[in-house]
Amino acid sequence: MQKQFQTVALHAAGLRHTQDIWWRTLAALMLALLGYSLPQSALADWELDGAHSGLSFVSIKKNSVAEVHRFQTLLGRIGDNGEVQAAIALDSVDTGIAIRDQRMRDMLFETSRFGVAKVTAHVDSAALKNLKVGEFQDLSLTLNMELHGQKHSLSGEFRVLRLAGGGLAVNTLRPMVVNAADFGLDVGIQKLMEVAGLPSIATAVPVTLSLVFDPR
């Protein structure tokens, strides 16, 4: 019985590994089709596990109706020099309603012109390497974001937790607020209001992250 259990466990571990490779390959392929790949300016210490990571944002319409959305395709890495690079495939927006997804692609993000959002930051990679399993470090970071042809910096507070196997879990300690006007998205929001017949859609959008980075 124990031998059978070990065999099943090994098979499950192998399946998870295969699924992780498949997901990363798919994410890289989708972004490559959009004409984007992460710069190879540094060796990666950790690579984003897209299958177990998420980026969510909240929209508020009619002043009081809040809805949670997400992006399904993310790519990222933390370099050995502490450079953080990430990319978000805007075509992968998922609101739970297909026609709304398409309207966001066409009217808000204009993904035919701006298919990818890019984010860079810097961390102390040596300090992260020194964390023991279960230990965490809280970081205040400046994120340099390029979205919809505009560049703007955001401040965020994050908790980085060391995982078994050398990985990292990164979560926002509190939502970051993205102002649509900073990235020229306020015009798109107005279009969404008109097509949906809504009196209002908030232009300040809370964003949360839950990311897993695997060691390279």
143-181 pLDDT, tens per residue? 999 999 999 999 999 999 999 999 999 999 999 999 999
Contact yes or no for 102/90 (Cβ under 8 A) = no
Triad 87, 93, 94: Cα angle to 5°: 140
Triad 149, 202, 194: Cα angle to 5°: 80
How much of the chain exceeds pLDDT 70, in percent?
80
Position 14 pLDDT exceeds 70: no
Report the Cα–Cα distance between both ends of the chain, in Å, rounded. Answer: 35
Position 137 pLDDT exceeds 70: yes
Domain residues for 177? Answer: 2-215
Q: What is the pLDDT of residue 6?
A: 41
How far apart, in whole angstroms, are the C-alpha atoms of residue 77 and residue 122? 11
Q: Can you tell me whether residue 210 is helix, strand or coil? A: strand
Residues 6+ apart with CB under 8 A from 70: 54, 55, 56, 57, 93, 94
Q: Among 3-12, 115-124, 132-141, which stretch is predicted with the lowest mean pLDDT?
A: 3-12
Q: What is the pLDDT of residue 12?
A: 40
Average pLDDT, the chain: 86
- In the predicted model, what is the mean pLDDT of residues 74-82? 94
pLDDT digits (tens, 9 = 90+) for 26-76: 445 454 544 455 555 456 699 999 999 999 999 999 999 999 999 999 999
- Which class for 48: exposed (0-12), middle (13-18), buried (19 or more C-beta within 10 A)? buried
Residues 6+ apart with CB under 8 A from 171: 158, 159, 161, 208, 209, 210, 211
Strand 65-71, strand 204-215: pairing: unpaired
Position 97 pLDDT exceeds 90: yes
Q: If pLDDT is split at 50, 70 and 90, which confidence band does 187 have?
A: very high
Q: Can you tell me whether residue 30 is helix, strand or coil? A: helix
Instruction: Count how many domains the chain has.
Output: 1
- The length of the chain is 216
* pTM score of the predicted model: 0.81
Domain CATH number, residue 124: 2.40.128.110
Residue spans of beta strands (DSSP E) within the chain: 44-48, 54-61, 65-71, 74-79, 83-89, 93-94, 116-122, 136-147, 150-162, 168-172, 176-179, 204-215
